[in-house]
Amino acid sequence: MPKLEEAMAALIRGRPVLIYDGDHREAEADFVVRADAVTPGLVRWFRQNAGGLLCFVTTEDIGRALGLSFLSEYYRGMGLSTTPRYGDEPAFMGYVNHKGTKTGVRDSDKALTLREMARVVNIALKDPELAKKEFLENFYAPGHVPILGARIGRRWGHTELSTILAKLAGLPPALAIIEVLGPSTEAMPYNEVKELAESLGVPLLRGEDLRAFA
């Protein structure tokens, strides 16, 4: 699959990839990049070319190893609805800033938080207890970077699709994703996403390109 191989190669090099989840889900495209490659300049580029919510992605297991749980579990306990129209409960497990940030919202701050979260994930893959210690010592909450936990095989959002792509590429589950909104008030439609991908030279995958590898 040349398209998939191109996307894996781009991700390995620290370059963005576009993933469109599908017409019958959110019908949105997200930029995906390995989190350890995020720079302040790239965060600014995402603001200009995407405009959605910049998030950190890892797996549910790693999130729980760090002491996090899904926010939907908390809000459901309050009696608040946790299911959007597309059906899957959101993947949010918390919002953090690295303690080295100033306000957390600046491009340089978000880049630092994302890179440091990637470092914690790399530790967690070898030593979950040490990773939790590093996480608790070096981050504070609430912050400006959402942490998303992938539930591969049980959910098919960009959180899961990006994690599947990282696994295929031999990379840790430590990614940054952001929705592409475009110039209109709605999500960018697929035909415009294709044009954007071609104009930027960014590989584009659809959800069905990745679901078979879950």
CA atoms within 13 A on the CB side of 71: 12
Catalytic residues: 30, 55, 86, 97, 144, 179
Residue 211 covered by a domain = no
Contact 103, 82 (CB under 8 A): no
88-136 per-position pLDDT tens digit: 889 999 999 999 999 999 999 999 999 999 999 999 999 999 999 999 9
18-73 per-position pLDDT tens digit: 999 988 888 899 999 999 999 999 999 999 999 999 999 999 999 999 999 999 99
Residue 164 covered by a domain = yes
Residue 152 covered by a domain = yes
Q: How far apart are CA 54 and CA 96, in angstroms?
A: 12
Q: What is the CATH number of the domain that holds 168?
A: 3.90.870.10
Residue 60 covered by a domain = yes
* Residues ≥6 apart with Cβ < 8 Å to 171: 11, 12, 34
Residue 86 covered by a domain = yes
User: What is the domain count for the chain?
Assistant: 1
Domain that holds residue 187: 2-206
Residue 213 covered by a domain = no
Residue 114 covered by a domain = yes
Residue 167 covered by a domain = yes
